[in-house]
Amino acid sequence: MLTCCVRHLPRRLSTLKSPQCGLPLQHSGKHCSTEPGETPDPVRTLVRLCVDRHYISVGEGNAELFRRGVSCSYGPLGLELRRNLLEQWWHSVTRSSAHVFGINTVNISGDTAAGGPEQLRIVESESFQRIFEKQKVSKEQLVQMLQELLLRSPPVRKNLFKGALEQFVPSLELVNGKLPFGLAETGLCFQPSGGSANEVMQTSLVWFCSPRTSSQWLDHWSRQRLKWWRKFALSPSDFSSGDVPEEELEEVVSRGVRIMYNFPWGQEPLETLWIRGDTELLQAHKGARSKLQCREDRKSVPHVVSVTGNLDRGMMAFLSNSLQLQQRNVVTHKLSLVLKLHPTLAPVKVALDISRGATVELRQVCEGLQQELMEAEVSVWPGYLKTLPTSVEHLNAKYDEMGVLFTMMISENTLESGLLKVRSRDTTIKETMHISEIKNFLCRYISAADNI
């Protein structure tokens, strides 16, 4: 239940989308999140909803990780959303061209010399303890032993970039020595965070092309990526792209573009594209130019365009972007929250519920329909398993907060006529459909949304 209210609200946070902006917000029963006349804090509202509706797990610390755009502990709905998002990212990158190959590199680098002093390393506590306990050594000897142990401990990766550079040579064989081509990877990376560390689900496309085309490719991929983010957005203009100012560029980078999302607290980057030249590729292969040259251009080493994203923050962007206040009752002006996630991303497509009646038979109908839908890869929420009766209004509010696309109510009438009521999250309209049409209706609806 959303019960959190905020009384003192910074103005710039109040960007929660309402279809009727002038309307004073009212109590909306159990799902109320505001006092009359007040605007809810969109961040708190979002986090509370995500916890209540099993997107993220309970806990102050966990909500804070989520808000900072790093991996947190996800509940069943959050996990499904992240799976859908990863799947879509993967398809968009690997199917956009025949020349992107997926790879998987390891997190722990065997190359213990890699990385500067700020590197995160994995250590075995026990090995340190054993040195701590040594009595007969001087302070200097102790420090030296510990220093050696630390340098022997394997570093963990901060990003997927270096792994892809190392895979360049075997991949060149795959494409018959021809440029351009790309290597795609998704995986956990670690980031230092005030003495501790955070993990992030990164997406990475490393694109190898001839030096003179790198700028065109940067533009190509920037357009593609922005289009992708906007495809799933309810309010596409919150996603934008822009060149990185020259003074922020690293030494090896000649140009950069960032895809940003306009969070209630300000803009944050979701994906970053860099033209990185050939320096790091040469370093990764110890300067062996001859191995790196492609068939058509024997003089130059390929240039690298990197596209790196943070999928945890991307997930928060879509959740934030989809949350809407909607008027539920024209007479009472009651408002409720709806998570209008894109049909492709929504973790639950259908909720199956039963109205009062011959429960055993109704459940059997639900189980049959659930089986049919799951075989068609349509995710189902088995609301019919709940044994406590709930009002229809309460149920709709709950499913709207979960972002469930359709709610289907199986009743006594379904047993007789095969007809059931189907409520749409987005239109709130209830239609009557025959049970035999449901699967096709849903598959058509989802695939239509996917192809827009």
**Is the peptide bond between 180 and the residue preceding it cis, with omega within 30 degrees of 0?**
yes
Region of 404 on the Ramachandran plot (φ > 0 left; ψ -120 to 50 alpha; else beta): beta
The overall longest dimension of the chain from CA atoms, in Å, is 88
- Which CB sits closer to a copy of itself, 11 or 95? 95
Q: In this structure, what DSSP letter does residue 74 have?
A: B
Interacting residue with a copy of itself among 41, 49, 74, 328 (CB under 8 A): 74
H helix runs in 21-99, sequence order: 42-52, 60-67, 76-94
Residue from 3, 20, 152, 431 binding a copy of itself (CB under 8 A): 152
CB 207, CB 305: distance < 8 Å: yes
Measured from the CB atom, is 67 or 258 closer to a copy of itself? 67
197 binds a copy of itself (CB under 8 A): yes
Interface pick for a copy of itself out of 14, 26, 73, 262 (rule CB under 8 A): 73
Binding range to a copy of itself, per CB under 8 A, among 37-45, 112-120, 207-215, 396-404 = 112-120
Contact between 333 and 387 (Cβ < 8 Å): no
Nearer to a copy of itself, 37 or 195 (CB): 195
Applying CB under 8 A, which part among 58-66, 321-329, 398-406, 438-446 lies near a copy of itself? Answer: 58-66
Q: Does 389 bind a copy of itself (CB under 8 A)?
A: no
Give the residue, chosen from 34, 45, 167, 204, that forms a contact with a copy of itself under the rule CB under 8 A: 167
Nearest residue (CB) to a copy of itself, 267 versus 440: 440
Could you count the other beta carbons within 10 Å of the beta carbon of residue 77?
23
Return the C-alpha torsion angle 167, 173, 174, 178, nearest 10: 100
Provide, rounded to whole angstroms, the least separation between the CB of residue 358 and a copy of itself: 20
Q: Which residue has the tokens 């209004």?
A: 393
Binding piece for a copy of itself, criterion CB under 8 A, among 131-139, 214-222, 280-288, 423-431: 131-139
Tokens describing residue 157: 């990766």
Nearer to a copy of itself (CB atom), residue 40 or residue 347: 347
Q: Does the protein bind a copy of itself through residue 163 (CB under 8 A)? A: yes
The answer to the question of residue 128 lying near a copy of itself (CB under 8 A) is yes
The Cα–Cα gap between 350 and 336 comes to 20
Provide the token pair at 244: 């990185």
Q: Which CB atom, from 55 or from 274, has the smaller least distance to a copy of itself?
A: 55
Of 126 and 248, the one with the shorter C-beta distance to a copy of itself is 126
Residues 364-377 as b or e (16 or more Cβ within 10 Å = b): ebbeebbeebeeee
Instruction: By CB under 8 A, tell whether 78 contacts a copy of itself.
Output: yes
10 and 30 in contact (C-beta within 8 Å)? no
**Under 8 Å between Cβ of 80 and 347:** yes
Q: Using CB under 8 A, which of the segments 184-192, 206-214, 267-275, 405-413 binds a copy of itself?
A: 184-192
Q: For a copy of itself, which residue of 120, 415, 419, 449 counts as binding (CB under 8 A)?
A: 120
Out of 71, 306, 336, 407, the only residue in the binding site for a copy of itself (CB under 8 A) is: 71
Interface residue with a copy of itself, options 146, 253, 392, 433 (CB under 8 A): 146
Task: Please report where in the chains the tokens 């950069």 appear, as a residue.
Answer: 256
- Closest to a copy of itself by CB, 83 or 227: 83
Q: Which is nearer to a copy of itself, 41 or 80 (CB)?
A: 80
Q: Which amino acid is at 31?
A: H
What does the alpha-carbon distance between residue 435 and residue 281 come to, in Å, rounded to a whole number?
58
Give the nearer residue to a copy of itself in terms of CB position, either 25 or 438: 438
Under the binding rule (CB under 8 A), the answer on residue 376 touching a copy of itself is no
Q: Smallest gap, in angstroms, from Cβ of residue 67 to a copy of itself?
A: 14
Q: Does 199 bind a copy of itself (CB under 8 A)?
A: yes
Any idea what the Cα angle at residue 339 is, between residues 334 and 345, rounded to 5°?
A: 160
> Binding residues for a copy of itself, how many (CB under 8 A)?
78
Closest of 275, 329, 277, 274 to residue 301, by C-alpha: 277
Compute the C-alpha angle 329/409/398, nearest 5°.
50
